[in-house]
Structure 1
Amino acid sequence: MKWKQAIKDFALYSQLERGLSLHTIKAYKGDLQKLEKWLEENQMNDLPVSISQDNLRTYVYELAKTVQARSQARAISSLKAFFEYLILERYREDQPMALIEAPKTGRKLPDTLSTTEIDLLINSIDRSTPEGERNRAMLETLYACGLRVSELITLKISDLFFNEGFLKVTGKGDKQRFVPIGTYTIEIIELYKNEVRIHVPVKPNHSDTLFLNRRGAGLTRAMIFHVTKQQAVKAGIKKSISPHTFRHSFATHLLENGADLRSIQMMLGHESITTTEIYMHVDRAHLSKVMQKHHPRA
């Protein structure tokens, strides 16, 4: 089996059998295609079923010279997953990546906005235009519900259970969860839905899509990033932020105000509590500031 076919089959397996997101699959394919290109450039004829641990170790060593530790760690993870697939499909019996360890990357604390900064950013939106009302509803939803940008753009009108106070969210691997939503955000979404969206000429395939562009189609990730960056500049916020910053802020503010980690995990849709535990580091920093400010022995 040649590399192109093996990569194609692995991508299909990752999507259909493992339910991975298209973003993750794209990263997998990119990492494997880099290995294939490196083999070609070095005139190596190794196939996926026969490539040796020594050649893979050499590749990882060369890769480390050109990319940061985090990218190297991801590439190693992609290669390990690929060869696990080959073992599962009985193309190989060994795991050639077994003894190749990823570099220590550390865990970068997520950037967050204060509640004041969030209010400043959202209040800077020009609500005199239909796009302004839509953007306000989008950013409020990102922060109020802690959504990923991919979850926001796939949100449907039929996912709104406002009488019960919940959204139905489709996350990674098409896994669904119910996330609480407050009355303030409900009112903002209803305003957008009833006074802005109702006047948009909706494309046939987007009749149930909540957030639409002016042509009646769904929004892209790039459009959400653009809106976020644009409003941050307009509000005079110097931090480098993205739509994901609202999700980080959502979790951090919940934790700072006494929410338990397990509930935050469920709302964020994290499979493992260890993913959510990164917010404990943010919270410890907050608690340290509180102690320094208020304790007589600080």
Structure 2
Amino acid sequence: MTWEAAIRDFSRYLKLERGLSKNTLSAYIRDIEKLADWSTEAKVSPEKVDLEVLRKFLADQQSLSPRSQARLITSIKSLFRFLVYDDALKTDPTELLEAPKIGRKLPDYLTDSEIDKMISNIDLSTDEGERNKAILEVLYGCGLRVSELIEMRLSDLFPKDEIIRVIGKGDKERLVPIHSVAMKVLMRYIHEVRIHNNPKHGEEDIVFLSKRGKRMGRSTVFTMIKQLAEKSGIRKNIGPHTFRHSFATALVNNGADLRAVQQLLGHESITTTEIYAHLNDNKLRAAIEDHPMYNRKG
């Protein structure tokens, strides 16, 4: 088996069976290509890779940050699990391979007052301002990824039910409730502003349009948020994803179950959502204090 064949089959598996997004798939393949290039130079085929070979390869990647090394190891583990699953290999050389320990830190998030300040600094006398307000309301009200926001379609909105259908990573669909206030702002933009914007061919169903009638780019949303934060005197390092963290933080602080937050965010694994678990430590302490075992009489 050649590295080219291994990468081709692995890529097909990630795309068709795992349903990974284009960006995630590209990240996996880039990581595997690093190993393939190194192994080719060392004249090691996929079948000849063992734990010692992998340790030598990783020793040559010390310039990478612990987080990048951890991601690289995750990609390599996924490749060799697939090769065993596909009967291309009999044993998995990555079973004893350990990833570097990396700290899990909650990213910056915005408080309600900071978000209110940003929204109040939007110039609502312009069509662009009405659109931008709707964008912030949806980002904070639903915890969407920026890619999900800019791909949102009119046919994904269910105003009467106050539900938005979201197509997330790997084309996975989820239904996300939206607060009536946020839905009202969104529908005002659609019925009073967007209706006057002539969409380009193929963009007719896209919710958020630029002045030219095309779907907005990620960088446009990022720049808009950065400028609003600066105008509002907010010094945190924020972008569209900050609103997603703020959404999750607000839910957990108000007692939401992590499983519910996982579903709303569209996380494939609960471990991704667990970064927010420490936020309700006080509630966990209260639960222990109320434990019936220690509240019995006597």
Instruction: Give me the TM-score of the superposition, normalised by structure 1.
Output: 0.88
Partner Cα separation in structure 2 for residue 73 and residue 286 of structure 1: 32
Partner of 1:53: 51
Matched, 1:8 2:8: yes
Cα displacement string for residues 17-63 of structure 1 (whole angstroms, at most 9, x for unaligned residues): 111122211110111122233345xx322233333332211111221
Q: Does 1:156 align with 2:153?
A: yes
The answer (yes or no) to whether the contact 1:109–1:281 under 8 Å persists in 2 is no
Q: Which residue is equivalent to 2:33? A: 33
Distance 2:257 2:89 in 1: 45
CA distance in 2, matches of 1:137, 1:120: 15
Distance in 1 (alpha carbons) for counterparts of 2:215 and 2:241: 19
**In structure 1, how many angstroms separate the alpha carbons of the residues matched to 2:275 and 2:75?**
23
1:233 to 230, 239, 243: 230
| 3-state SS, counterpart of residue 223 of structure 2 | helix
Q: How many angstroms does 1:238 deviate by?
A: 0.5
Q: Please state how far the C-alpha of 1:266 moved relative to its aligned partner.
A: 2.3
Q: Supply the distance in 1 between the matched residues of 2:112 and 2:85 (Cα, whole angstroms).
A: 48
Structure 1 CA distance for aligned equivalents of residues 234 and 281 of structure 2:
24
Indicate the residue corresponding to 1:192 in structure 2.
189
Are 2:142 and 2:177, in contact at CA under 8 Å, matched by a contact in 1?
Answer: yes
Find the residue that maps to 2:174 and give its secondary structure.
Answer: strand
Letter paired with 1:26: S
* Structure 1 unaligned residues grouped into runs of 5+: 289-298
Shift of 1:215: 2.2
**1:246 Cα shift?**
0.6
Following TM superposition, the consecutive aligned residue runs of length 4 or more in structure 1 with deviations greater than 4 angstroms are 285-288
Whichever residue aligns with residue 61 of structure 1, its letter is A
Pick closer, same or farther for the CA change 1:217–1:276 going to 2, 3 Å.
same
Q: 1:285 to 1:240 in 2, by over 3 A?
A: farther
Distance of aligned partners of 1:98 and 1:258 in 2 relative to their CA distance in 1, 3 Å threshold: closer
Aligned to 2:258: 261
Match of 1:103 in 2: 100
Q: CA deviation at 1:285?
A: 7.7
What is the CA deviation profile of residues 253-276 of structure 1, one whole-angstrom value per residue up to 9, with x for unaligned ones?
A: 122223333332222223343332
Aligned Cα root-mean-square deviation (Å): 2.1
1:287 Cα deviation from its structure 2 partner: 9.6
Q: Secondary structure at the match of 1:8?
A: helix
Report the secondary structure of 1:35's partner residue: helix
> 3-state SS of the aligned residue for 2:175?
strand
SS in structure 1 at match of 2:47 = coil
Q: Who is 2:205 aligned against? A: 208
Match of residue 290 from structure 2: none
Helix, strand or coil for the counterpart of 2:46?
A: coil
Structure 1 equivalent of residue 23 of structure 2: 23
With 186-195 and 87-96 compared, the bigger mean Cα shift is at: 87-96
Contact 1:49 1:86 in 2 (8 A): no
Task: Identify which range, 197-206 or 4-13, moves more after superposition.
Answer: 4-13
CA distance in 1, matches of 2:109, 2:4: 41
CA gap of 1:51–1:16, structure 2 versus 1, over 3 A, is same
Letter in 1 for 2:29: K
Contact 1:157/1:209 (<8 A) preserved? yes
Are residues 185 and 13 of structure 1, via their aligned partners in 2, closer, same or farther at CA, if it must alter by over 3 Å? same
Offset of 1:5 from its aligned partner? 4.2
Residue 177 of structure 1, aligned match among 171, 174, 177: 174
Aligned residue for 2:281?
Answer: 284
Please state whether the residue corresponding to 2:144 is helix, strand or coil.
coil
Cα deviation, residue 163, structure 1: 0.2
Q: Deviations over 1:84-140 (max 9, x none)?
A: 222222222221222111011121112211101111122222233322222211111
2:142 is aligned with 1:117: no
Q: Which ranges of structure 2 fall in alignment gaps of 5 or more residues?
A: 286-298
Q: Using the TM superposition, give the Cα deviation of residue 175 of structure 1 relative to its aligned residue in structure 2, in angstroms.
A: 1.8
Amino acid at match of 1:100: L
Aligned to 2:133: 136
